[in-house]
Structure 1
């Protein structure tokens, strides 16, 4: 670590920092969260003096050896409590109300004890004991009463949750002022255990974005990516204020409100509720998604006769099993979600930020820091305190958001800007350049959500060109997402004769782009359609186009000879939507193109179709077809004249990106596709 940063940490945050390699050394022997270890290290080993640190580490090891309850030694510890009449343990404790006895009872995770009597002062003082449980240092007592067989002889006499005793947020803000932006980002990353020198700036900011749900109220984040990139680490290990729900079924009562007990669920107890392995979420209860949508949009939900409010952020993390390029061509980036969530555009629209987990490299041992950072428990409390303030208006002085950002987009971007500013500039000192950097990043994270919604929900989510306007220079800047910029399906420039692109509905019911390639060799008039699998209907459509052209070739060009050549026609499904429903017209154009050795007009996509008799078939969902064609890279589009009236349904922004060419007969379509006047 840079000595300058260390000196600044020591001067501004005495007793609040710890060497992270100490955590790693002890963590290997005790399966407790990082914040538990660092709470103890902060008490005994927060020093720069090597001898004091060593002594403190020994103390922590001894405390853990004596008091931390390992599940396999639970019976030994219970025996100690009985023999000694009392004993201090470190364990995860959750509390519930036994209404039949009118008393609170504690359950110890590792000790395996339940129905342990506990004073009502503790659940009143620490309400998270009632929702999921928290790690505590507990003085246990044992009192067996022959006349009272109903109650457990174990009693939780004194309970101290493992969290910082107090926090001066102004002192924290004053301390931040001593650091540069780069130095501060490095300190934050080291505080959550990462080594910033191993990451470029982009990856550092992606790591910071993972912390936004902990520092911003009601912030909904999704991160999908490869395994081994630390997606759930932050929410499980770093903060005592977040809870990680591991897959499986979760209920409305557990998550929101238990009507029978009249108690709040997890969203009322925790700052962040994170769902691990989203693919495994079991959403049998139809109400769950509906209530989640309500809560994610407004921070409130209705149960019974009243409306409840909570401030917990929602996080969804999971694995992507294919490369992003493949997923973008064949599906959408929300594919790992359970079907009821992943196809519900209203649910997905409430996600404020989609973090591209595939950009974070798989963790190696040297990604974890050995240097000084904040005690995680201290920094977790700082983040919790900063949830009370907001910087969502920070952009208003310098920028305004573009016209394509709707209300949900605006809320999402402003929440993310606020969270990132609190992480990087908690002292409130930042200028136009700093705000612009944060704003660009926030818009990109929201646009990733919109791009996928456009694939799932069609024209309803057409407005994806998110931008911001510089008020000083009156200049509009559009923000794109890196993965959308990868190679277009329809390349620029002229292709080979016989190659043609179209947009069509596939057999799956989804719209996709298709490429057709035709080869011609000397022969006696044979035609073969490939790439259609065993779909006899599709092959018949291609065959009918060949027969129509055979009968009408002379009306197009007398030099087209169908009986002296053999043709092979191949179909490629570029988006994985199944064989195209509209196939005959592209087949006919491709056959003419290869016969005349004339390529199709550059960057063109063909829409519409013909029957076996040559009657034109109009396009039923023109706007969606045009959107897919544009996303695939088309600059020109061939449309049946019968669809001219439907252009009123196409957004002007979409229409303006095309040169639209109408055709009125199959022969007219061929001429215009080949650029023949």
Structure 2
């Protein structure tokens, strides 16, 4: 299959050697940045000069601790400095002034400026999202160089030095061709494609010893990567790679491990008039959820219920919308795990999640005990899809509504089915369809047996676990089983 993968995806394939080499682990780089470097430095045989890569990382991928040194070079030494960073842009409504921030280094927009000539040359790349990864170049504009053409604000303190953006190049140096990706999927069988997906997120398919259920459970973690506002709960044993997949693979998500979470950080900060995490990411993962504390449980619970239901949140007089999925990840005791989902698995979660009305708004449950503990045999060592390219594809697929239309056409909804159950099953099935069968453009492109096995049945099982837990949490849900969703009788099963 390696030859087929390299032929079909050409430059979007890199050689990953996580089993034998700890070179990139020592550099503490996320997967998307590692694969970006591999694509840049690797030859056709998969070899690269580690000294060259290390030197590039030293110069262009600074640590947070390097920020003072960078400011010294820019402000005191009057140098222009280039490095890779995540950039957020803001346009002041009152003045028309364009500024930027570097969230990873704590540089706020009030201390920056993007001058007109630079903005004209790079605005197409910078306006695509709330935050954009790229190769930036920054310089300094001293107070004496202040030019009133950039601001009509004559208030006290307006004439002050600012760090200026002098150049920007997008982190993604190629155009994402979604149609090509969809068409390339046709060259692979379902089992081959499952292995391709595992390699794209750094896992070695052969390490699962042919256990398809374990492979698919692992890939279930990717569903929020491809489907908007897909809300999941996963409980799993320690060491199964939850933090790695949600926190190190994609640049479009956010992982929060333990600590304190507030409504202001998650949704909207009234004092700063700043949108929270849900507005700038495809998914928010609350890892080690048992150890997370909330500044105000009732406030957070109310905000979560509204957002999980509709994607709308209200804080004070501010109403916002977002598309980020919410994922809860926690560890599970062996005795609870051995019950295979037939005991109260949520009893150790924070109190905020002990309310049935909130739990019901999570679409599905991932049985993380079906995922093996991480070991060297599960680490990729071979040719695989570039993680940066793959996650960019997943990000783009979130916007494709055609898959949901296909799912609506294929699934038979029983009479009087609960609306939340129907939406949960359809949303999960849609995510599976995007992930496993991106080539499907119309219902007849997928066999009914495959759709049922890999999309519908798995969606039903994920929702059914939520239903069972609701039964344990609240007497109101007793005896309310999941409706029997099925593939429509008039579907062309001979396709």
TM-score w.r.t. length of structure 2? 0.82
Give the 3-state SS of the residue equivalent to 2:421 in structure 1: helix
The answer to whether residue 439 in structure 2 is matched with residue 427 in structure 1 is yes
Give the 3-state SS of the residue equivalent to 2:38 in structure 1: helix
Q: Structure 2 vs 1, CA of residues 222 and 61 (structure 1 numbering), >3 Å: closer, same or farther?
A: same
CA contact (8 A) 2:143 2:162 kept: yes
Q: Structure 2 vs 1, CA of residues 86 and 216 (structure 1 numbering), >3 Å: closer, same or farther?
A: same
Structure with higher RCO (Cα < 8 A, 6+ apart): 2
CA contact (8 A) 2:300 2:352 kept: no
Q: Structure 2 vs 1, CA of residues 383 and 13 (structure 1 numbering), >3 Å: closer, same or farther?
A: same
Largest Rg, 1 or 2: 1
Q: How many residues align?
A: 462
Query: Of the candidates 423, 446, 456, which is equivalent to residue 411 of structure 1?
Result: 423
1:63 alignment counterpart: 56
Q: Structure 2 vs 1, CA of residues 404 and 34 (structure 1 numbering), >3 Å: closer, same or farther?
A: same
C-alpha separation between the residues in 2 aligned to 1:147 and 1:155? 12
Give the 3-state SS of the residue equivalent to 1:389 in structure 2: coil
Q: Which moved more, 1:303-312 or 1:372-381?
A: 303-312
C-alpha separation between the residues in 2 aligned to 1:10 and 1:409? 41
Q: Structure 2 vs 1, CA of residues 13 and 325 (structure 1 numbering), >3 Å: closer, same or farther?
A: closer
C-alpha separation between the residues in 1 aligned to 2:30 and 2:132? 11
Question: Unaligned regions of 5+ residues in structure 1, if any?
Answer: 475-677
2:206 alignment counterpart: 197
1:182 alignment counterpart: 191
Give the 3-state SS of the residue equivalent to 2:55 in structure 1: helix
Matches within 5 A, 1:105-124: 106-107=101-102, 109=104, 116-119=111-114, 121=119
Give the 3-state SS of the residue equivalent to 1:279 in structure 2: strand
CA contact (8 A) 2:176 2:392 kept: yes
Give the 3-state SS of the residue equivalent to 1:222 in structure 2: strand
The answer to whether residue 273 in structure 2 is matched with residue 226 in structure 1 is no
Give the 3-state SS of the residue equivalent to 1:41 in structure 2: helix
The answer to whether residue 6 in structure 2 is matched with residue 10 in structure 1 is yes
C-alpha separation between the residues in 2 aligned to 1:328 and 1:432? 29
Q: Structure 2 vs 1, CA of residues 327 and 181 (structure 1 numbering), >3 Å: closer, same or farther?
A: closer
Offset from partner CA, 1:462-521 (integer Å, 9 cap, x none): 2225433465499xxxxxxxxxxxxxxxxxxxxxxxxxxxxxxxxxxxxxxxxxxxxxxx
RMSD, matched Cα: 3.4
2:150 alignment counterpart: none
- Structure 1 residue 398 displacement after superposition: 5.7
Matches within 5 A, 1:650-665: none
CA contact (8 A) 2:89 2:98 kept: no
CA contact (8 A) 1:144 1:153 kept: yes
- Structure 1 residue 357 displacement after superposition: 1.2
C-alpha separation between the residues in 1 aligned to 2:284 and 2:339? 27
- Structure 1 residue 85 displacement after superposition: 1.5
CA contact (8 A) 2:342 2:468 kept: no
Q: Structure 2 vs 1, CA of residues 108 and 355 (structure 1 numbering), >3 Å: closer, same or farther?
A: closer
TM-score w.r.t. length of structure 1? 0.62
Q: Which moved more, 1:348-357 or 1:97-106?
A: 97-106
The answer to whether residue 283 in structure 2 is matched with residue 272 in structure 1 is yes
Offset from partner CA, 1:631-651 (integer Å, 9 cap, x none): xxxxxxxxxxxxxxxxxxxxx
CA contact (8 A) 2:112 2:164 kept: yes
2:44 alignment counterpart: 48
Query: Of the candidates 38, 62, 65, which is equivalent to residue 35 of structure 2?
Result: 38
